[in-house]
Amino acid sequence: MSFEMIMRRVGKAQASGAADAAFSPSPAADPGRRQFVKRATASGFALAILPVAGAWQAEAQTPAGAAAAALKPTDMPAAFVEIAKDGWVTIQSNRLDMGQGTETGLAMVLAEELDADWSKVRAVPAPLGAAYIDPAFGMHLTGGSTAIKNSYKQYRELGARARAMLISAAAAAWGVRPEQITVSAGRLTSGNRSTDFGALADAAMKLPVPDKVTLKDPATFKLIGQPQSRIDAGDVARGAKRYGVDMDLPGMKTVLVARPPVFGGKVAKVDDTKVRSIKGVSDVLRIEGLDRGAQAVAIVADGFWSASQGRDALQVDWDLAGLERTDSAKQLAEYRELAGKPGVKATKADASKVAGAARKISAEYVFPYLAHGAMEPLNCTIQFDGAKCTLWYGAQMHNVDAASVAKVLGIDAKDVAINSLPSGGGFGRRAVPSSDYAVEAAQIAKAYRAAGRSGPLRVMWTREDDMKGGYYRPSALHRAEIGLDSAGNVIGWKHVIVSQSILTGSPFESFMVKDGIDATTVEGIADTPYALPIALEVHNAKANVPVLWWRSVGHTHTAYVMETLIDEIARATGKDPVALRRELLGAKHKRHLAALDLAVAKSGYGQRQLAAGRAWGVAVHESFDTVVAYVVEASIEAKAPVLHRITAGVHCNLCINPRSVETQVQGAALMAIGTTLPGSEITLKDGVVEQSYFSEYTVARMRHLPPIDVHIVPSADPPTGVGEPGLPPLAPAIANAVAKLTGQTPRALPLKLA
């Protein structure tokens, strides 16, 4: 089952379940806001005043019987477009921008159909509200590289509707027919009359929202397809962009939390005598009901330094009785034992021919836990007054978090407001089915209020907290036995994966785990485009280690296994690895072939002679409906691979912003390089995570990235995403170059060369 199919089912379940109330913007129950919007609209303040307008725009602003009454909140331009009197256009982004550029991309799509002046366009993150759910999934979600893909048509129609309303307002004001009006760069013109959008925003707002609109011919696009810098680049460069860690509210306190060293640990005894003597510390709170039933101690202080000093002075005895204490070395031995036993069948292919094959390839691959390591550690600011709760943070799944917070606080989900803030990275860590860090903030706010306190609390995680605080890419073991006939054809392929299920035990298990198979564990193999008879089995291992999706999810390890084994088959049969891929892909997979051929052609593979000691490495992989192929040029120095150049071929259908695609592929490539570097692994000893900072957990730096050329396959088909697909194929491309140079395929990440 694909990610999109799964999440559609999640969305339907959310829409009918307990979190449904969280789909409605929390301020909707406040008549004061409605009156404010009506007054502001009457004064011509803007085409859209408040993000919450989308939930009730049809009622508040559309005349009875108008066609737009049938439109959904996600279709209503007032929730997404604000046009100020000076002509500036502010566009609400229904996705969290974690650096991937979705605010820019979605703004480009809407501005294209609106015919806005791009130099006067802003973009801001949308809050929790009915208008801002993913129109395909039916829930708030930033993930799966779906932002542009799922909202492309939506944002085009939003822009077209707002444009049509402006034209209608101008036609009424000037006494002309709508077809006599032209729109360009934020201005409407008819004959010798011309005005900018801002002058007509008030009049346009009073008109019905058109149900159906005609979209532009893509051949006339002026913005879409043209490279644009990020819309927030200036603010980022000036340090003016504000993130969750920058929250500063009147009366706000900062909170740091002392968490148990083993997941699920509880507080046995607390000595806070020294803590309470530290200037700036106001409260020491014991916290219940955390992730995996854990308990913790929260230090509430005037600022980060005093909170940090207080936590350092705290003495806690932890109750770890009865907890499983995962040990990485022991876990690997257990995984190897499991791999030798029958697992749950994920595919129907027959592997019986492997035993009698003329030639065999046997391989075992090992992958460690990985931390997300986002530049901005987790944080969440919360204010709870006993009846309503407001949160400020970079949310990826607003509905899920709102429902979880509401349950902790004993209030309705509709009384939880989430104000989205940009985040400095995420890679999946901010989209947690258990809502762990939002729940933690809620438990702290609840305890704070129970202590007779009030006011906003900024709950912060340090880098060490973030690294040790759980939710990692699962460790995994693959074992493959491949049978070849005398002609070198694959006649059987037995494959076993041992890994923790990301979703078993989560609220999403009922829709995302089918017949014991977690779709994220087998993606990239169970649905391989290669014509291969893979008999795949899975063991869902258990461990007291919280696991979660990590940029490109299961493809992080399945692509490595598949693409290195394809090269190994090529070497065993004397075939060129590119030619073998073309053969196994066949004519059916045109997008794979186009991306592969583009990367090969642009790299010079097979056309130019490499310097002595260098080799080509090739890999191609599809994830999240986008295909990325890499050709790398590498050598080995001091028992480590050295990359000299990377060439990428990308098939993401219609490219909205070539500059964004290029930077996302570059960033994904750098992150993929990080998975190959020594020290890029999370290990556990006696239940405790051994790494706590980047000095112990390796991430790639800019010096690790060689020149990288990104080439995009031209296409007019609806766009797919690029946030994740650039990661999976690079590590195997590097490994394939190493195998050519050494004669041995690296079987584990990070790479360990003899």
pLDDT in tens, 724-748: 999 999 999 999 999 999 999 999 9
Q: Which pLDDT tens digit goes with each residue over 221-257?
A: 999 999 999 999 999 999 999 999 999 999 999 999 9
For domain 340-370+472-742, the question of CATH label 3.30.365.10 is answered with yes
Q: Which pLDDT does position 334 carry in this prediction?
A: 98
pLDDT band at 505 (very low <50, low <70, confident <90, very high): confident
Query: Above 80 in pLDDT, residue 18?
Result: no
* Mean pLDDT for the chain overall: 91
pLDDT band at 507 (very low <50, low <70, confident <90, very high): confident
Going by C-beta distance under 8 Å and a sequence separation of 6 or more, which residues neighbour residue 652?
626, 661, 712, 713, 715, 719, 720, 721, 722, 725
C-alpha distances in angstroms, 412 versus 11, 289, 400? Answer: 19, 19, 13
% of the chain beyond a pLDDT of 90: 88
Beta strand 266-271 with 315-319: parallel, antiparallel or unpaired?
antiparallel
- CA–CA separation, 167 vs 180, rounded Å? 9
Lowest mean pLDDT among 43-47, 329-333, 392-396, 461-465: 43-47
Beta strand 379-384 with 457-460: parallel, antiparallel or unpaired?
antiparallel
Cβ atoms within 10 Å of 114's Cβ, excluding its own: 30
Q: Which pLDDT tens digit goes with each residue over 586-595?
A: 999 999 999 9
Q: Which pLDDT does position 205 carry in this prediction?
A: 84
Beta strand 253-258 with 457-460: parallel, antiparallel or unpaired?
parallel
Going by C-beta distance under 8 Å and a sequence separation of 6 or more, which residues neighbour residue 665?
628, 648, 650, 708, 710, 722, 726
pLDDT band at 19 (very low <50, low <70, confident <90, very high): very low
Structure tokens at 744: 């041995």
- CA–CA separation, 152 vs 223, rounded Å? 14
- How distant is the alpha carbon of residue 136 from its chain centre? 16
C-alpha distances in angstroms, 647 versus 414, 559, 641, 658? Answer: 49, 18, 17, 15
CB 22, CB 416: distance < 8 Å = yes
Structure tokens at 215: 């979209």
Q: Which pLDDT tens digit goes with each residue over 376-393?
A: 999 999 999 999 999 999
The C-alpha angle with vertex 243 and arms to 238 and 248, in degrees rounded to 5, equals 100
pLDDT band at 25 (very low <50, low <70, confident <90, very high): very low
Query: Above 90 in pLDDT, residue 290?
Result: yes
How far from each other are the two terminal CA atoms of the chain, in whole angstroms?
39
For domain 244-321+378-460, the question of CATH label 3.30.2350.10 is answered with no
Phi, psi of 633 (to 5 degrees): -115, 120
- CA–CA separation, 712 vs 375, rounded Å? 28
Indicate yes or no: pTM above 0.85: yes
Q: Which pLDDT tens digit goes with each residue over 631-661?
A: 999 999 999 999 999 999 999 999 999 999 9
Structure tokens at 274: 């020294």
Alpha helix ranges (H) inside 616-744: 658-676, 730-742
What distance separates the 2 farthest-apart alpha carbons in the chain?
A: 84
Query: Above 80 in pLDDT, residue 12?
Result: no
- CA–CA separation, 374 vs 454, rounded Å? 31
- CA–CA separation, 616 vs 634, rounded Å? 7
Q: Which pLDDT does position 342 carry in this prediction?
A: 96
More confident residue, 49 or 180: 180
Q: Which pLDDT does position 336 carry in this prediction?
A: 98
Phi, psi of 246 (to 5 degrees): -90, 0
Which residue bears the tokens 């305890």? 447
Q: Which pLDDT does position 50 carry in this prediction?
A: 28
Q: Which pLDDT does position 250 carry in this prediction?
A: 98
Alpha-carbon dihedral 421, 427, 433, 435, rounded to 10 degrees: -40
More confident residue, 514 or 37: 514
> DSSP secondary-structure letter at 748?
B
What would the mean pLDDT of 699-703 be, rounded to a whole number? 95
Sequence spans of domains, the chain = 3-238, 244-321+378-460, 340-370+472-742
Q: Is residue 266 packed enough to be buried (19+ CB in 10 Å), middle (13-18) or exposed (0-12)?
A: middle
Q: Which pLDDT does position 213 carry in this prediction?
A: 96
Task: List beta partners, residue 418.
Answer: 391
What would the mean pLDDT of 689-701 be, rounded to a whole number? 97
Going by C-beta distance under 8 Å and a sequence separation of 6 or more, which residues neighbour residue 17?
none
Query: Above 60 in pLDDT, residue 511?
Result: yes
Q: Which pLDDT tens digit goes with each residue over 176-220?
A: 999 999 999 999 999 999 999 999 998 998 899 999 999 999 999
What would the mean pLDDT of 585-611 be, rounded to a whole number? 97
- How distant is the alpha carbon of residue 754 from its chain centre? 36
Going by C-beta distance under 8 Å and a sequence separation of 6 or more, which residues neighbour residue 82?
46, 47, 48, 49, 89, 90, 91, 92
- CA–CA separation, 742 vs 636, rounded Å? 9
Structure tokens at 207: 């008109």
Q: Which pLDDT does position 70 carry in this prediction?
A: 81
Range list of β-strands (E), 594-743: 614-623, 626-637, 640-651, 684-685, 688-689, 708-712
Q: Which pLDDT does position 14 carry in this prediction?
A: 47
Q: Which pLDDT does position 69 carry in this prediction?
A: 56
- CA–CA separation, 217 vs 294, rounded Å? 56
Q: Which pLDDT tens digit goes with each residue over 263-282?
A: 999 999 999 999 999 999 99
What's at 393, amino acid-wise? Answer: Y
CB 369, CB 449: distance < 8 Å = no
CB 599, CB 629: distance < 8 Å = yes
Q: Which pLDDT does position 36 carry in this prediction?
A: 27
For domain 3-238, the question of CATH label 2.60.120.1360 is answered with no
Q: Which pLDDT does position 53 carry in this prediction?
A: 30
Going by C-beta distance under 8 Å and a sequence separation of 6 or more, which residues neighbour residue 749?
366, 367, 368, 557, 560, 675, 676, 680, 681, 731
CB 339, CB 498: distance < 8 Å = yes
Q: Which pLDDT does position 754 carry in this prediction?
A: 80
Is the fold of 244-321+378-460 the same as that of 340-370+472-742?
A: yes
- CA–CA separation, 238 vs 99, rounded Å? 16
What would the mean pLDDT of 696-721 be, rounded to a whole number? 97
- CA–CA separation, 156 vs 215, rounded Å? 7
